[in-house]
Amino acid sequence: MSRRVIAHALPWGNVGGTELATLRLAEALRAGGYASRMLVPHLPGAQDVADLMRDHGFPVSRYHQVAPRKANPLPFFANGARLAAGFLRDGVGLVHGADIAGAYFTAWAARLSGARVTSHVRCAHPALAEVERWLLKPVERFAFVSRATIGQQDFPCAPERAEVLYDAARPPQPVPVAAARAHYGLDPEAVVFGMAARIHPQKDHESLIRAAARVKADHPGIRFLMVGDTTGEAVHRDQFARLEALMRETGTRDLFVFPGFEGEMARFYAAIDVCLLASHTEGFPLGILEAMGAGLPVVASDVGGVSEAVAAGVTGFLAADRDVDAFAAAIGELAGDGGLRTRMGAAGRQRAETRFGPERFAREACAFAARMIGPPQ
């Protein structure tokens, strides 16, 4: 049996950016003739991931994440042997780590089965443990999500083993603005700035709160819609408590709406006038591409590959990490100039369609697969 199936090893038990990006990758490969299956870990909440993939027509296998231990390495190798047997049974010719954390638990098993191995690198990894570097040794080729991400990893990666595969996002389906705003309890006449991100210390909601305090007097109709889970994990709850305290301190609590996790992103984009992304580190954020595709200007932290998506001064504004002054200036300028919002939004839509559209992504994804395992059957 010819082995042309691609197995995507998902590392986590929740639906997030990595899971959605991997789903889009598998859909692009399917359109090009490649079969995919999803490897979903046995972790709390991972049934949602498995259900999402099955709902989109992909077979799912569950796997155990067994880490190697010097004191007793047998469980790791036994688990790898089971995985390898599954790869052989299912005709898997390429194992793709959806993130390096997925490759940790599957790369050696793939090598044992004779399958080729690749992995996405979605953010900087400046300090890995020795065992993590060992777990990545079987990976033959790395797909980085941005040029900025290359060279920020603490594992060997010769230039010929690295390439950039930009993500893509389809424009969200149109949703009536009035209905979207009513859902979140937002005034139809407000100028709404929105950010979609988990409530986590990696994100910089603090700078946005401080920027809001500086512009609220000049723009009393401004509002901020912050979607993202605030209660699911302890880290989310703790961070949200800190943000609540900061909003009370700065007198901005009435400007912010935190509705929690949002599964209907088209509704979110319809409700906002400007997309925000304040973050301390990023690889290549999909939300920016989706916002640009929706015709929204963007104000974002200039970290990681963000500047590869946003054309500063054309499709939006960039601010240095934690630069509250720059965020406040950009927010104030866009809040007071509807024409500028329209022009930047139109430029962003054009950039998303021409440079980061799904057709380009499908071509590059299938070419990447062909270099690894040959053309589809």
Listed range (203-217, 221-235, 295-309) with the worst mean pLDDT: 221-235
Paired tokens of 50: 């498995």
**Residues 110 and 197 reside in one and the same domain:** no
Q: Is the pLDDT of residue 1 over 60?
A: no
Better-predicted residue by pLDDT, 139 or 233 = 139
Residue holding tokens 């946005």? 208
Sign of the CA dihedral with 227 first, then 217, 270, and 326 last: negative
**Residues 351 and 257 reside in one and the same domain:** yes
Using CA atoms, how far apart are residues 42 and 218, in angstroms rounded to an integer?
Answer: 51
**Residues 336 and 209 reside in one and the same domain:** yes
Which residues form the domain of 310?
177-355
Give the full edge-to-edge strand order of the sheet including 162-164.
60-63, 36-41, 5-9, 92-97, 116-121, 141-144, 162-164
Torsion of CA 8, 10, 16, 21, to 10 degrees: -20
Using CA atoms, how far apart are residues 296 and 289, in angstroms rounded to an integer?
Answer: 10
pLDDT digits (tens, 9 = 90+) for 215-251: 999 999 999 999 998 887 899 899 999 999 999 999 9
Contact partners, residue 200, CB within 8 Å, separation at least 6 = 235, 236, 239
**Residues 198 and 230 reside in one and the same domain:** yes
Distances (CA, A) of 204 to 228, 316, 319, 320: 13, 18, 12, 11
Highest mean pLDDT out of 40-44, 80-84, 199-203: 80-84
Using CA atoms, how far apart are residues 181 and 273, in angstroms rounded to an integer?
Answer: 11
**Residues 276 and 286 reside in one and the same domain:** yes
Using CA atoms, how far apart are residues 107 and 109, in angstroms rounded to an integer?
Answer: 5
pLDDT at 152: 84
The one-letter amino acid code at 158 reads A
**Residues 74 and 222 reside in one and the same domain:** no
**Residues 157 and 77 reside in one and the same domain:** yes
How many structural domains are present in the chain?
A: 2
**Residues 161 and 225 reside in one and the same domain:** no
Torsion of CA 227, 233, 238, 241, to 10 degrees: 40
**Residues 154 and 184 reside in one and the same domain:** no
Is residue 158 very low, low, confident or very high in pLDDT (cuts 50, 70, 90)? Answer: confident
**Residues 25 and 116 reside in one and the same domain:** yes
pLDDT at 68: 94
Q: 100: domain CATH number?
A: 3.40.50.2000
**Residues 245 and 329 reside in one and the same domain:** yes
**Residues 71 and 36 reside in one and the same domain:** yes
